[in-house]
Amino acid sequence: MSKVDALGARPFRLALASALAVAAAILGAFALIYFEVAREDVARISAILTDEARLNADASQDRLRAALTARQTRDIRRIDYLSLFDAHGELVVGNVPRMPPLPADATAHLLAAREMAASGAAAETAIVVARRRADGGVLLLGRTLQDSYTVEDTLLRALGLAVLPMIAAILAIGALFARRASLRLTGVHEAIARIMQGHLELRLPVAREGDEIDRIAEAVNLMLDEIVRLLDQLKSVGDNIAHDLRAPLTLARIKLDHALEVAPENARAYLEAAHAQLDRAGVTIAALLRISAVENGPREKHFRDVDLAAICRQAVEFYEPVAEAKGVLLASSLDGSLRVRGDEDLLREAIANLLDNAVKFTPAGGTVQVAATTVEGRPCVEVRDTGPGVAPADRELIFRRFYRASADESGAGHGLGLSIARNIAELHGFQLRVEDNAPGARFVMRGGAKASLARLSR
Amino acid sequence: MVSPSGDEQRPPVLLVEDERDLAAEIRDELQGVGHPVECAQTLEQGLSAARRGGAAVLIVDRMLDGEDGLSLVQALRDEGNPVPVLVISALSTVDDRIRGLKAGGDDYLVKPFALPELSARVEALLRRGARSRATFIKLGALELDLVEREARRDGELIDLQPREFKLLEYFMRRPGQIVTRAMLLEDVWHYKFLPQTNVIDVHIGNLRRKLDSGDGRRFIVNVRAAGFKLDVES
């Protein structure tokens, strides 16, 4: 499932990155507004102060005194710095007791408010203009940037209040989309995995959103339809050939039987050999049709509760005499019952094929062991032998149709028994594999996640 | 092949098969073992012949010119006709056999088959009604007690394993009747396929060794190209 996790992580990282980018853009915009507002404020206040200083610097001292006093009275927020100094730098009137360190050049300067040492002045910045009067005195006009700060604070608060939830929302939406995409990809991935296990009847899920995933899924589904159609065609051609061969084979056998009855002694051996070959062909055709019969076999709705242990016991009983005759010990641990859902006849056939194979390949003095157990809650049938075993490279191949390990040149059997067994196992959602028994082979038929143990009836 | 005289009194086997060559072979084979045969090529012919009654056994091919022979069986069963039916077919999917037997067929034979297999099945169907359900069977020197699960030869207990007892019981219920390997597989072990090794012959061999006494009497004999037979007269 690690692939699926990786698929899930990638869209999520993408969503995170885009959320961060959006957040950065918003932050940038806010910063621009913030600094522009501050700059504009300073420029505006500077212009006003410079103008006022220019217009009023040369007014009479009495008029200025009256004007400054009136202005101070009105300035209830204490944002203005207003002072008139005489030519000696002594305060004539105003709220700045001493001339702060700035040139009387009639232009706006930024100055720390505490330089003015005015009462109530906070640790803030002020814009101050000092203009020299014709009498040598200096008119000082200033205003703190307290208002600007208030605006800036508001901006900052707005930033905090708006941007952080916005980023959270973007992240959440991104995560949601990432999760949806990842869930869909997981669905597609799982469907592909099951299709690759041979469930060609399954299709990739289509969400009907018309996006890329849907388009690919639809294309793959069409491709699967075509593959299934071709496979069916191929299979029905094969089945038809096998079918059509049955009638002539039946007749050919019968004709040979007649020939055997009347044939002279020197022809009999040939006729009997021909008969045996026809029989082999018949068995092969029967087995081939059997495989396709199993593949198109009963589906789960026809399955019933079946006791695998009982089936194994019967198979052991059936093969015991052959094993004995060969000098092979057929041992089993098959107590109790192992109930599964399945088709009894088919499971009987699968297990008989496994035993047939094991007894056939185990030399005299060897042992074949059969066990039916539950491993991790899953039904499991094991057939171990002490024969030559199966080379690692052949462990998948032996389940293919007509495959015969090179060691077996005897021609015994039709090479389809294991194929049939695997088909039957898969029909039931079981896995059939061969492992090393050191020495020998160990065939394990294990219930997969799908193969559920039948509920034990009380 | 000339039918033994007197056969005409026996009820015939009705064969519904559209392939003439195969039909002729089946007819010859069955007549050769003493069963008169009436042939029909189509479903309709077969149905009307069967409705006339008198057939001891009906043999129907499932594939009759694109028609399913099972519909004939179904029709007869719906009419309450109890004639034993053997279905022969080239079909062998897992469901086919079940469907064949469900439709009212009594036995199902898949092509390619050997003619002796066919006549053994026909014989089994003919004798089915007369088959003993007794719990004690005595045939010649052999006795079988199905309650005590004991077998005796000349009154002497034979030590049989359960599987050998089961096999002997099958033969004892069909004395003198040809029993094929496929019949043993299906009826005694419930296997619906042919195993690759000669398992049946080994089973028979084991049973034979225990049954046969030292004086050369053989109870289970081979029937060439067909199978085995319990021969209690010898």
Q: What is the CATH number of the domain that holds B182?
A: 1.10.10.10
Same domain, B95 and B186: no
Cα dihedral B9/B13/B14/B20 (nearest 10): -110
> Which of A159-163, A256-260, B6-10, B67-71 shows the lowest per-residue confidence on average (mean pLDDT)?
B6-10
Domain finish residue from B129, B156, B185: B129
Q: How far is B110 from chain A (nearest CA, A)?
A: 9
Please give the residue range of the domain that contains residue B41. Answer: 7-129
Query: Within its chain, how far is the Cα of A184 from the centroid?
Result: 8
Beta-bridge partner residues of A380: A373, A446
Same domain, B148 and B213: yes
Instruction: Say whether A243 and B163 touch across the interface (CB within 8 A).
Output: no
Query: Within its chain, how far is the Cα of A407 from the centroid?
Result: 45
pLDDT at A44 over 80: yes
Find chain A residues with C-beta within 8 A of B27's C-beta: none
Right CATH for A2-150 from 3.40.50, 3.30.450, 3.80.10, 3.30.420: 3.30.450
pLDDT at A126: 85
Chain B, residues 69-98, CB within 8 A of chain A, namely 90-96
Instruction: Say whether A317 and B19 touch across the interface (CB within 8 A).
Output: no
Same domain, B12 and B124: yes
Residue B29 lies in a domain: yes
Find chain A residues with C-beta within 8 A of B23's C-beta: none
Taking CA atoms, B41 is separated from A30, A416, B71, B77, in Å, by 96, 36, 15, 20
Q: Is B93 helix (H, G, I), strand (E, B) or coil?
A: coil
Are A387 and A367 contacting, i.e. CB atoms less than 8 angstroms apart?
A: no
Given CA atoms A75, A81, A85, A90 in this order, what sign does their dihedral have? positive
Position with higher pLDDT, B194 vs A252: A252
Using a CB–CB cutoff of 8 Å, tell me whether A194 touches chain B. no
Nearest neighbour of A322 by CB, restricted to B25, B92, B202: B202
Find chain B residues with C-beta within 8 A of A290's C-beta: 92, 193
Are A141 and A133 contacting, i.e. CB atoms less than 8 angstroms apart?
A: no
pLDDT at B6 over 60: no
Same domain, B196 and B223: yes
Instruction: Specify the DSSP element, H or E, that contains B138.
Output: strand B136-139
Residue B165 lies in a domain: yes
Instruction: Say whether B193 and A250 touch across the interface (CB within 8 A).
Output: no
Using a CB–CB cutoff of 8 Å, tell me whether B157 touches chain A. no
Same domain, B74 and B22: yes
Using a CB–CB cutoff of 8 Å, tell me whether A241 touches chain B. no
Query: Within its chain, how far is the Cα of A438 from the centroid?
Result: 39
**Nearest residue of chain B to residue A420 (CA atoms):** B193
Find chain B residues with C-beta within 8 A of A349's C-beta: 191-193
- Quote the number of domains for chain B: 2
Using a CB–CB cutoff of 8 Å, tell me whether A388 touches chain B. no
Using a CB–CB cutoff of 8 Å, tell me whether A319 touches chain B. yes
Using a CB–CB cutoff of 8 Å, tell me whether B19 touches chain A. yes
Same domain, B184 and B197: yes
Same domain, B144 and B185: yes
Find chain A residues with C-beta within 8 A of B90's C-beta: 243, 246-247
Q: What is the pLDDT of residues B169-220, one digit of tens each?
A: 999 999 888 999 989 998 898 887 767 668 899 999 999 988 887 777 788 9
Position with higher pLDDT, A13 vs A225: A225
Using a CB–CB cutoff of 8 Å, tell me whether A412 touches chain B. yes
Distance CA A68, CA A141 (A): 10
Q: Is B155 helix (H, G, I), strand (E, B) or coil?
A: coil
Nearest neighbour of A346 by CB, restricted to B94, B196, B205: B94
SS3 content of chain B, % helix, strand, coil (to 5): 40, 20, 40
Instruction: Say whether A250 and B113 touch across the interface (CB within 8 A).
Output: yes
Domain finish residue from B65, B94, B129: B129
Position with higher pLDDT, A319 vs A22: A319
Are B190 and A311 contacting, i.e. CB atoms less than 8 angstroms apart?
A: no
Q: How far is B74 from chain A (nearest CA, A)?
A: 22
Nearest neighbour of A246 by CB, restricted to B112, B203, B206: B112
Residue B79 lies in a domain: yes
Q: What is the pLDDT of residues A318-351, one digit of tens each?
A: 999 999 999 999 998 888 888 898 888 889 989 9
pLDDT at A79: 78
Position with higher pLDDT, A182 vs A407: A182
Residue B1 lies in a domain: no
Same domain, B90 and B138: no
Q: How far is A399 from chain B (nearest CA, A)?
A: 16
Average pLDDT over chain A, rounded to an integer: 81
A212-295 topology per CATH: Helix Hairpins (1.10.287)
Are A175 and A12 contacting, i.e. CB atoms less than 8 angstroms apart?
A: yes
Read off the DSSP letter of residue B3: P
Are A147 and A79 contacting, i.e. CB atoms less than 8 angstroms apart?
A: yes
Domain finish residue from B107, B129, B151: B129
pLDDT at A238 over 90: no
Using a CB–CB cutoff of 8 Å, tell me whether A307 touches chain B. no
pLDDT at A443 over 90: yes
Same domain, B85 and B151: no
Same domain, B22 and B57: yes
Residue B2 lies in a domain: no
CA nearest A202: which of A229, A228, A167?
Answer: A228
Same domain, B39 and B115: yes
**Structural domain boundaries in chain A:** 2-150, 212-295, 300-447
pLDDT at A407: 47
Nearest neighbour of B90 by CB, restricted to A247, A314, A417: A247
Instruction: Say whether A283 and B194 touch across the interface (CB within 8 A).
Output: yes
Q: What is the pLDDT of residues B8-20, one digit of tens each?
A: 568 899 999 988 8
Position with higher pLDDT, B22 vs A413: B22
The CATH architecture of the domain made up of A300-447 is 2-Layer Sandwich (3.30)
pLDDT at A381: 93
Q: What is the pLDDT of residues A106-121, one digit of tens each?
A: 888 888 877 776 555 5
Same domain, B25 and B114: yes
Taking CA atoms, B130 is separated from A33, B107, B125, B173, B174, in Å, by 108, 17, 10, 10, 10
Kindly provide the ipTM of the predicted complex, given to two decimals: 0.82
pLDDT at A415: 67
